[in-house]
Structure 1
């Protein structure tokens, strides 16, 4: 056990010695010198700019460059510290606390000292991203508008969710001597609960029965990761296919958050969400989380391999908006709306996944843990201005671009430059804009407003006339089958 302060026996008077300063705060003041170069940024950050942000761009938008680098490096720092086994449910309160963390990070020694991990992350991407799943390469054919780029070459894990109980975390003063304490230590000291206490509470809310009496495992594994595996099973009573995540509790270090997530997700039920169905705790070693399973795959397969009609786009938007509105009415922000996180049933059912306990249930964990993937990210996420529920609406607008063009804007750019372009340019150009109907143009306009006050809410968009053009969901089935065939997933 280590102590922050140790009392020493009194000694006789000594000559005062002035030591080196401690807990020095390094504020960041960015300026542009006569050569048009940025000054005032940490050297480790400057090395990252490289050729991704030109000198002209640095001269024109120094504040944007600072914000992007600050956000980008904080994201890397959080991702390197811990890869969460599941995603924390986000509220506007969490966003405020996260913004404080980013500000504190900018003043910390981590932001200013030269770290090999930061510069190397740009130089050796193969070491950083070898196992990130990728979208299948888009086939070049007359029906394909844009070839989708291999995401593994571009994406950096931007997991920025602080998976700590925000309401219990007390942000310490910059000069506080408690900086050696982890947030977990603070929480445990204040809550007084041990791992055994959390396990007892988890046991109370899980189904006490034997999962083998409820579900029969199939031979199909859906994914795997550090915390366990995901496999398909059949409900013995109904014959319904489900996805079950087997979480190895011996590797689960956030049992307090795990408990909170189960409690919340048991109360989240909606036809357009991949719903939590049940949970079993077996021998205190394994937690089995049962979720809905959709057999049509992600919307990504459809947008990259087929061309969607406006009526089909309207149908998908209508279903996704109902899920978003449901979450927003309950004070929850998804924060990662994109085609990868919209799952389809073979009958055309549309469900949003990858929030709360839905994270990682379908697909590879390393892909599913990415929060706020940069290409779908709203400008205010980086600048932290009026950051709230409407970030999901911006992401929906970018997902419409996916459905039109086959990929989001800037996908061919590395993440750091993508963040810069999103922040500096605001609304992206849309390749097929002139060929779109006025109703769809208007719908996109309401989604991709840089001014958050002018951006529509989910409830407002549900009343938009574009959604009156929606086709029946069953019209998605031929597209799903075609995508499966082209991707050899049949």
Structure 2
């Protein structure tokens, strides 16, 4: 989507406001939300009202109005982004900043005032508060949180963790650019054909059928493409091939830098990139490892894991997270669905960048950056950086303990609100856990990002010393497969 910016003189009220986006005609849609004397939110786009009323009670709106505003803004933006059908790109400091700007721009765009779910636009006549939730279905209203949980958003660049990866650097190393200036000058003039040509330079020039035998079995499909099972003709091992239609990707430069980065990402706990081909019809085939044990989700939902097994999985996942963080990359979607297992107990993280992902429970994949595992600062955009993955790991440990993440049975918008308003979730099995595991979870689920541990710190946590051998996961994998008829 192209945005058109209209300059105007700033008034006193504009000093703290975000950039205003309008149509080429100059129409401006400012959103100024406040709470009236009756505790109602005033000034919301009418398209948002029905969704809020269906999922967030009036008392909750009055208790945490700022959380409501932030959550709905992020939710609406995420759903709109999902409609565009872009594949998940590697997340770096640069892309976080770009996304944050897009969210603020979207907040004040005409698109923000429309919703396919509500069927309303700014001319709608719905009241400013709608509540269709049955009283007996509403969870207890969370207590009012301290201001530290919902800090005023500051300028994002001041809040970002320092990430080290320059995603253009590797591309420059693999290209014939004499200088940074030459690279940037030429890149700014790139057409789609130029990007396709550069992508081909980084891909295998051969015919994929000479290397891989693709089957008709697909592992999942989405807006970005289909993931197929194939066989490596040299090794006989199964692989996954993600078929991406490059003509449907709006940001061709990200396709280009993605391949340059992924070709250099190799780690024992990542589902590794193996190969890439550009087909005659401008389809990109990305070949990835395929694990035969299935997702960790099957194990956590169908079996009971011991603390030592939870420690073993967490240790392997932490090694993958630490590797990504050391290369300036944030995963942002750590969850059991994205942890794949080998029948020998091998643990690998998938679904970052081009990684092939297997479609699972639709409820768990309803929006970009699955909300149930999401750190509060992703929505509030406060000090948003690498530690979002540590929060998600903490939620995944709750999965391993209880079979599902907190709020999974809530709709995504309400789940986002509860995460933002409540902070750390309640863990039902907390009294039965060992002190080491409690402390480990505490280190992951700190709302204050500064108090949350890093991946490197957690790798040396005393709970990690309790990990069992990975082969002890094999009986659980087999049991889950049998229960789910996947054997």
TM-score under structure 1 length normalisation? 0.77
Residue equivalent to 2:486: 489
Matches within 5 A, 1:156-171: none
How far apart are residue 55 of structure 1 and its match? 1.6
Residue 298, structure 1, aligned to residue 295, structure 2: yes
Residue equivalent to 1:181: none
Residue equivalent to 1:438: 435
Q: CA 1:224–1:468 in structure 2 vs 1: closer, same or farther (change >3 Å)?
A: same
Residue equivalent to 1:16: none
Residue equivalent to 1:101: 102
Counterpart of 2:345 in 1: which secondary structure? coil
Residue equivalent to 1:53: 56
Deviates more, 1:318-327 or 1:233-242: 233-242
Matches within 5 A, 1:56-455: 56-80=59-83, 82-84=84-86, 86-111=87-112, 113=113, 115-120=114-119, 191-218=188-215, 220-360=217-357, 362-363=358-359, 370-455=367-452
Residue equivalent to 1:461: 458
Q: Deviations over 1:384-433 (max 9, x none)?
A: 11111100000000000000000000111111111111111100000100
How far apart are residue 218 of structure 1 and its match? 4.2
Q: CA 1:426–1:354 in structure 2 vs 1: closer, same or farther (change >3 Å)?
A: same
Residue equivalent to 2:9: none
Computed over aligned residues only, the root mean square deviation of the Cα atoms, in angstroms, reads 2.7
Q: In 1, Cα distance between the equivalents of 2:265 and 2:310?
A: 26
Instruction: Say if 1:30 and 1:63, in contact at 8 Å, map to a contact too.
Output: no
Q: Deviations over 1:332-379 (max 9, x none)?
A: 10000000000001100000000011044x447988795321111111
Number of aligned residue pairs: 404
Q: CA 1:307–1:48 in structure 2 vs 1: closer, same or farther (change >3 Å)?
A: same
How far apart are residue 317 of structure 1 and its match? 0.2
How far apart are residue 329 of structure 1 and its match? 0.7
Q: In 1, Cα distance between the equivalents of 2:213 and 2:116?
A: 45
Q: In 1, Cα distance between the equivalents of 2:359 and 2:33?
A: 43
Runs of 4+ in 1 over 6 A off after TM superposition: 187-190, 364-369
Q: In 2, Cα distance between the equivalents of 1:238 and 1:27?
A: 58
Task: Structure 1 unaligned segments of length 5 or more: list them.
Answer: 5-20, 122-165, 169-186
Q: In 2, Cα distance between the equivalents of 1:457 and 1:416?
A: 28
Counterpart of 2:291 in 1: which secondary structure? coil
Q: CA 1:45–1:248 in structure 2 vs 1: closer, same or farther (change >3 Å)?
A: closer
Counterpart of 1:446 in 2: which secondary structure? helix
Instruction: Say if 1:296 and 1:480, in contact at 8 Å, map to a contact too.
Output: yes
Residue equivalent to 1:41: 44
Counterpart of 1:48 in 2: which secondary structure? helix
Q: CA 1:356–1:295 in structure 2 vs 1: closer, same or farther (change >3 Å)?
A: same
Q: In 2, Cα distance between the equivalents of 1:209 and 1:365?
A: 37
Residue equivalent to 1:152: none
Q: Deviations over 1:37-96 (max 9, x none)?
A: 22122222222212421121111111111111111112222223x011x21111123222
How far apart are residue 449 of structure 1 and its match? 0.3
Deviates more, 1:330-339 or 1:233-242: 233-242
Deviates more, 1:22-31 or 1:284-293: 22-31
How far apart are residue 118 of structure 1 and its match? 4.2
Q: In 2, Cα distance between the equivalents of 1:393 and 1:244?
A: 29
Instruction: Say if 1:90 and 1:333, in contact at 8 Å, map to a contact too.
Output: yes
Q: In 1, Cα distance between the equivalents of 2:194 and 2:360?
A: 31
Residue equivalent to 2:30: 26
Q: In 1, Cα distance between the equivalents of 2:365 and 2:257?
A: 20
TM-score under structure 2 length normalisation? 0.77
Q: CA 1:346–1:257 in structure 2 vs 1: closer, same or farther (change >3 Å)?
A: same
Deviates more, 1:324-333 or 1:252-261: 252-261
Instruction: Say if 1:224 and 1:365, in contact at 8 Å, map to a contact too.
Output: no
